[in-house]
Amino acid sequence: MKSPKELALDKKILGMLSGKALEVAKIMINDEEIHYLQDYANTVSIKRLDYNDHGPVHMRTVVINALTMMDILNSTKTKFNLEKECVGTFEDSKISVMIAAFLHDTGMAVGRENHERSSAMISMPIIERILSQIYKDNLQKKVIVRSMVLEGILGHMGTQKIDSLESGVILVADGCDMKKGRARIPLLLNKEAKVGDIHKYSSSSIEDVVIEKGKKRPIKITVKMSASVGFFQVEEVLFKKIVHSTIKPYIELYAKAEGRDMKCYL
């Protein structure tokens, strides 16, 4: 059974879409295999590895972050690679990004190490099943979108070079999910301090991450935090992902802790 948070995120995703992209979202949201896979990825992440949320709420949040950035870029007439290469439309790019974002951490069901590769492997039958429904009369489009989905999944950690704007969106969208709720469950389960806990405690100070249209560049990302320890999360997670992303030239990045001046990174 889905949590109220998942249901609210599902509703928000559906409200952002239309056409074939909406059809894809409905398929994924109602797919039992995806549901169980995301749930188990979270079980492994939190209960076995004592890590933060890598389950259905996180993956849905990344979808929303990615769609928000794509819509902003599209509103500024920025063309994504499928359009620039004359092999697809903005809707096709949106579909590829959405599927990749929805499945990017499924490999956590196997383990943390190289989980982006595990995600690609474990998601392939699901990707094939979804795209066969959406592009049943267009094999060429199906092959192209599938390739884009795999690049997005494999590139979401910044460990593998990516070349498309579509994949660059996923990398940043993933890094933007660092609000304090994501670390809440591991902190409740284990209150004893351990080496590496700086990630959990720094993320617990992140109050909000706002993605909106910028003034100097198309996308403005503002991280709001209750304590300066949150700068660790910005600099060691989000900023590094932006640096490795193809959409870096389109981003303004700011961070502010209570009682401190706004800090501009980009």
Partners of 161 in the beta sheet? none
Quickly list H helices, the chain: 4-15, 19-29, 32-43, 56-75, 81-84, 90-103, 115-134, 139-154, 165-175, 184-189, 198-203, 230-233, 239-243
pLDDT of the residue at 53? 75
CB 155 within 8 A of CB 188: no
- Residue 82 confidence (pLDDT): 98
Domain boundaries, the chain: 4-264
Specify the pLDDT at position 85: 98
Q: How many CB atoms lie within 10 A of CB 34?
A: 20
CB of 172 closer than 8 Å to CB of 69: yes
Are 223 and 256 in contact by the 8 Å Cβ rule? The answer is: yes
Record the pTM.
Answer: 0.91
Mean pLDDT by 10 residues, the chain (266 residues): 93 98 98 96 88 87 98 97 98 98 96 93 98 96 98 94 97 91 47 51 83 97 92 91 97 94 94
